[in-house]
Amino acid sequence: MDDIERTFREAHGQAVATLTRLFGDITLAEDAVQDAFVSALRRWPRDGVPDNPAGWIVATARNRAVDVVRRGRRGRELTEQLATDRLRVESATGPDDSGPMSDDQLRLIFTCCHPAIRVEHQVALTLRLIAGLTPAEVASAFLVSEATMLKRLVRAKSKVKAAHISYRVPDDAELPGRLRAVLSVLYLIYNAGADDVDRCDLRVEAIRLTRGLVTLLPGEPEAVGLLALMLLSDARMPSRGNGTHVVLLKDQNRSLWDRSLISTGQALVLACMRRRRLGPFQLQAAIQALHCAAPRYEDTDWSAIVRFYDRLLAVMPTAVVALNRAVAVAETDGPEAALALLDGVAGELDGYPLLHASRGSMLERLGRPHEAVQAYDRAAALARTDADISFLTHRSSHVTVDLDGSTGALS
């Protein structure tokens, strides 16, 4: 991404959020910011990039929006009112662009992630309006066409407008629940970037926005937990096979892990522990911190990990958490105990490839090759990425080698 694109992406989020606060209309804000970008493309190469590019975009877009509103019906009263109460408090250059997120963006992200909007629309709005991705970029993040994404964005924005979803940070009573929705959206964005090496900029955006939330809402430990979780996951990214093939945790080359990200993530986890308000994201981060703390796979403190999974399951009793806990239990209590736990969630997770892959691994360790092959094959049939499919097919065929009496590569 070149400098001007990066500047535009960062300025877009800030400018749309500020204009939305001033004019109360997302579509007007977006159009005005788009016009400001067009002016910037014309003027910056000639006059040079201004010292505060985001401020320049906000100021230009604001003038543009005032013109649009003035032309409309009742526009004169509205602009006069805006001029007296709100525009005056803005500095001449607009807000500075030093922080990862402005107060206006914080307000707008709660709008984008309002529970009255369906989750995939929340993600799309957040990527477009807060992260500043172009509709084409948002579309590719979702693996849908640009036309489909444009329609989805229009529908989501018209719901915001028609239902009068507010632009504000929720009050203290609502904040925990509403923040959870925002954090979940950011984690979905992060994971979309972690699953696909071509979309790694989604990880960068998710981390940038989560960092912004942590700065603006320092009293919310779950935001800190999510940031730690993302950093610890990012630290291990270089050892995960670059998206071309799967490398299991036990086979990862730990010297490739990013030590500085790990120590930042672990420090955040420790700070969370001291606050003693552990929610789901903090507990998941704590588990990752324990994995990162082990110099070798054999050194992993599995009983501590299982204890954190117990607590996670208590606050987030989902089948996926139960599955992950079962995989950890295999290391403390053996594959038979783990298999029994996996079978307990098999009905609910039948369409989930990781369930079958984990069952395959336990069955293989228990010396039940026929069932292991079946489980791996089922996992391969459900898997979505080429890397996962080839990994699972390989595992399945190596179990078959065992059947012939040869020594299996995985044993």
Partner 1 sequence: MNQYLLAVYDVEGQAAGVPSTAEEMQAFMGRVIALEEEMDRAGAFAFGGALHGPDAATVVSGGTGLDKVTTDGPFVEAKEHIGGFYIINAEDLDEALSWANKVVEAINHPIEVRPFRATGRVEAGD
CB of 117 to partner 1, least distance (A): 10
Does position 163 interact with partner 1 (CB under 8 A)? The reply is yes
Rounded Cα distance between 181 and 179, Å, is: 5
Q: Could you tell me which stretch among 54-62, 161-169, 197-205, 388-396 binds partner 1 (CB under 8 A)?
A: 161-169
Q: Which is nearer to partner 1, 81 or 166 (CB)?
A: 166
Both tokens assigned to 334? 């053996």
Q: Which is nearer to partner 1, 179 or 231 (CB)?
A: 179
Quick check: 158 binds partner 1 (CB under 8 A)?
no
Nearest-CA neighbor of 221 among 267, 173, 271? 271
Got the DSSP string for 311-360?
Answer: HHHHHS--HHHHHHHHHHHHHHH-HHHHHHHHHHHTTTTTT-HHHHHHHH
165 lines the binding site for partner 1 (CB under 8 A): yes
Nearer to partner 1, 174 or 310 (CB): 174
Listed ranges 12-20, 165-173, 311-319, 377-385: which one lies at the site for partner 1 (CB under 8 A):
165-173
d(CA 213, CA 100): 9
Contact between 169 and partner 1 per CB under 8 A? no
Q: Which region, judged by CB under 8 A, interacts with partner 1, from 56-64, 163-171, 262-270, 348-356?
A: 163-171
* Residues in Cβ contact with 41 at an 8 Å cutoff, skipping those fewer than 6 apart: 4
Contact 189, 205 (CB under 8 A): yes
Name all contacts of 203-211 with Cβ < 8 Å and 24+ positions apart.
203/230, 203/234, 203/237, 205/127, 205/131, 205/133, 206/230, 207/231, 207/234, 208/100, 208/101, 208/131, 209/100, 209/101, 209/109, 209/126, 209/130, 209/131, 210/183, 210/186, 211/100, 211/101
Q: Exactly one of 50, 135, 170, 408 binds partner 1 (CB under 8 A); which one?
A: 170
Interface with partner 1, residue 150, by CB under 8 A: no
Our finding on whether 166 is near partner 1 (CB under 8 A) is yes
Whole-number minimum distance, CB 165 to partner 1, in Å?
5
Stretch of 34-42, 146-154, 156-164, 183-191 lying at the interface with partner 1 (CB under 8 A): 156-164
Q: Taking CB under 8 A as the rule, does residue 174 contact partner 1? A: yes
User: Which H or E element spans position 119?
Assistant: helix 119-125
Size of interface with partner 1, in residues (CB under 8 A):
9
Task: Report in angstroms how near the CB of residue 176 gets to partner 1 at its nearest.
Answer: 15
**What's CA 392's distance to the chain center, in Å?**
26
Residues 74-133 that bind partner 1 (CB under 8 A): 114, 116
Q: Which stretch binds partner 1 (CB under 8 A): 89-97, 162-170, 316-324, 333-341?
A: 162-170
Question: 164 or 276: whose CB is closer to partner 1?
Answer: 164
CB of 116 to partner 1, least distance (A): 6
Q: Which residues of 278-317 are buried (b: 16+ CB within 10 A; e: fewer)?
A: bbbbbbbbbbbbbbbeeeeeeebeeeebbbbbeebeeeee
Name which of 38 and 163 has its Cβ closer to partner 1.
Answer: 163
Q: Is the dihedral of CA 46, 48, 50, 53 positive or negative?
A: positive
Are 275 and 331 in contact by the 8 Å Cβ rule? The answer is no
| Closest separation in Å from C-beta 170 to partner 1 | 7
Q: Which stretch binds partner 1 (CB under 8 A): 100-108, 159-167, 310-318, 344-352?
A: 159-167
Nearer to partner 1 by Cβ, of 159 and 311: the residue is 159
**Residue placing its CB nearer to partner 1 in the complex, 111 or 282:** 111
Interatomic CA distance for residues 300 and 188, integer angstroms: 27
* Binding residues for partner 1 (CB under 8 A): 114, 116, 162-166, 170, 174
